[in-house]
């Protein structure tokens, strides 16, 4: 049996590049011939196209994956409203629950050797009354990759997120610095500060990309520091 590589992608905030990094990871795994798929268990914000509700993140992950899956496995909770998931779910008359997410993940694992799970927003986004994104990450129990959107305030957000990951008994396995703001003063100093203060290795720095794609992001990232990375001696 092949060894598995699975990880959970979180971010310092919404819109910081989680999908871009998840797709880059899947692109790299696909290039290496690994049977891989993405999962976006909860997605808030969908558009109706050709009679089907679709979400951009789920579609980006599917495009970079080597194993094609039914959309309702990739995203067991596809919510129509672009809002915090617990609010979007109540508008759709749904309750997000851990058991449905676990069942979909088990089915995906049965068809793959690698799964990249993208979280929602930041690390502590509420999903239901007693269930948030951190609970979901604990349920998966996977090594965590933190995407830091490098902008003013990111040091605090990154350090708080790292602290929260550790407090939940999870492993911060690596982090990515993503260039959201090309004009940010002291960019290098901010990245160096996090390099010194975060316990996990820096996977890479993604510059602001003129043509955003999984392949172009992947060319700036070295995932081989991640535990269980295919081809790496354990």
Ligand X SMILES: Nc1ncnc2c1ncn2[C@@H]1O[C@H](COP(=O)(O)OP(=O)(O)OP(=O)(O)O)[C@@H](O)[C@H]1O
Beta carbons within 10 angstroms of residue 97's beta carbon:
15
The size of the interface with ligand X (CB under 6 A), counted in residues, is 16
Binder of residue 14, out of Mg ion, ligand X, none (CB less than 5 to 8 A by kind): ligand X
Cα(155)–Cα(197) distance, integer angstroms? 9
Check 18, 40, 68, 195 and give the catalytic one. 40
**CA triple 20-24-26, angle to 5 deg:** 120
Cα(177)–Cα(195) distance, integer angstroms? 10
214 binds Mg ion (CB under 5 A): no
| Residues 135 to 164 in contact with Mg ion, rule: CB under 5 A | none
| Residues 88 to 147 in contact with ligand X, rule: CB under 6 A | 121
10 binds ligand X (CB under 6 A): no
Q: Which residue is nearest to Mg ion (CB)?
A: 19
State in angstroms the smallest separation of the CB of 12 from ligand X.
Answer: 9
Listed in sequence order, the residues at least 6 apart from 56 whose beta carbon sits closer than 8 Å to its beta carbon are 19, 45
40 catalytically annotated: yes
Q: By C-beta, is 15 or 163 nearer to ligand X?
A: 15
17 binds ligand X (CB under 6 A): yes
- Select the residue interacting with Mg ion from 57, 59, 113, 132 (CB under 5 A): 57
Q: List, edge to edge, every strand of the sheet that includes 144-150.
A: 36-39, 114-118, 5-11, 144-150, 172-179, 202-206
- Select the residue interacting with Mg ion from 12, 19, 28, 161 (CB under 5 A): 19
Q: By C-beta, is 23 or 230 nearer to Mg ion?
A: 23
> DSSP strand E in the chain: where?
5-11, 36-39, 42-44, 47-49, 52-54, 77-79, 114-118, 126-128, 131-132, 144-150, 172-179, 202-206
Binder of residue 16, out of ligand X, Mg ion, none (CB less than 5 to 8 A by kind): ligand X
Listed in sequence order, the residues at least 6 apart from 80 whose beta carbon sits closer than 8 Å to its beta carbon are 45, 46, 53, 88, 91, 92
Binding site for ligand X (CB under 6 A): 11, 14-20, 57, 121, 178-179, 206, 208-209, 212
For the annotated catalytic residues, the residue numbers are 40
Q: What residue ranges bind Mg ion (CB under 5 A)?
A: 18-19, 57
């Amino acid at each position: 049996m092949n060894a598995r590589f699975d990880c959970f992608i979180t971010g310092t905030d919404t819109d910081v590049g989680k999908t871009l990094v998840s797709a880059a990871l899947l692109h790299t795994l696909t290039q290496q011939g690994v049977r891989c798929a993405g999962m976006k268990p909860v997605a808030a914000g969908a558009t109706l196209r050709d009679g089907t509700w679709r979400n951009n993140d789920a579609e980006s992950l599917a495009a970079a994956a080597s194993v094609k899956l039914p959309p309702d496995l990739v995203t067991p909770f596809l919510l129509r409203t672009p809002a915090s998931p617990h609010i979007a779910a109540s508008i759709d008359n749904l309750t997000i629950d851990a058991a449905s997410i676990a069942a979909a993940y088990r089915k995906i694992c049965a068809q793959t050797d690698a799964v990249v799970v993208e979280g929602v927003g930041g690390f502590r986004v509420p999903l239901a009354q007693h269930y948030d994104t951190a609970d979901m990450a604990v349920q998966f129990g996977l090594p965590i990759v933190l995407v830091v959107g490098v902008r003013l305030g990111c040091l605090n957000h990154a350090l708080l997120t790292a602290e929260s990951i550790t407090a939940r008994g999870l492993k911060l396995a690596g982090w990515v610095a993503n260039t959201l703001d090309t004009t940010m003063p002291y960019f290098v100093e901010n990245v160096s500060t996090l390099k010194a203060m975060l316990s996990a290795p820096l996977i890479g720095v993604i510059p602001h990309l003129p043509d955003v794609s999984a392949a172009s992001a992947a060319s700036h990232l070295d995932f081989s520091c991640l535990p269980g990375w295919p081809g790496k001696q354990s």
